[in-house]
Amino acid sequence: MQPHRISTPLSESRIMELRAGDNVRVSGVIYTARDAAHKKLVELLEKDEPLPFALRGQIIYYMGPAPARPGQIIGSAGPTTSGRMDDYTPALLARGLGAVIGKGSRNAATIQAFQDYRAVYLAATGGAGALLARTIKEAQLVAYAELGPEAIWRLVVADFPAVVINDAYGNDLYAAGRREYAW
């Protein structure tokens, strides 16, 4: 089966076409953010202050880029554990965030938020940061430089590979896999 080719910003209709288990290739702009940046973003939302980028239809990738070597756009760009963002993700989805990319399972409230706000959770392959970095064509610091690798970066990607784990219908690929392969 051919992967879904998706481009940012994501439309609601495009999000609704995706199902848990689908392979995707993402092209366009995605933003990086991890724990510390998420905390700052949610604090801005709580104060009704502007965010450093518009959320509507965007994708946040849970990663902290390794420093680029000379001649490179970015260093290793692998995913980090998504569960650390579970306390913050529903608030961002409520404001229009279309998808997130990371690795590992999400808690029940976050899985429900993907359904409530019509968004998806995508997983990238852990341990493949050097290969994933090859899909990044541009990298620009956006906000919170003081956070070092947890700063927010704007990445332009071409055919970034991921798998839909949680879709907007409440399906969970990890849960389905555990049921299917249980002894």
Percent of the chain with pLDDT over 70: 99
Q: What is the pLDDT of residues 119-145, one digit of tens each?
A: 999 999 988 999 999 999 999 999 999
Q: Give this prediction's pTM.
A: 0.95
- Which H or E run contains 58? none
54 found inside a domain: yes
Q: Supply the residues annotated as catalytic.
A: 38
Average pLDDT, the chain: 95
User: Does residue 169 lie in a domain region?
Assistant: no
pLDDT in tens, 79-129: 999 999 999 999 999 999 999 999 999 999 999 999 999 999 999 998 899
Q: 111: domain CATH number? A: 3.20.130.10
Alpha-carbon distance of 73 to 140, in angstroms, equals 9
| Domain boundaries, position 105 | 4-65+80-128+139-164
R_g of the chain, CA atoms, integer Å: 15
Tell me if residue 79 falls in helix, strand or coil: coil
Q: Is the pLDDT of residue 183 over 90?
A: no
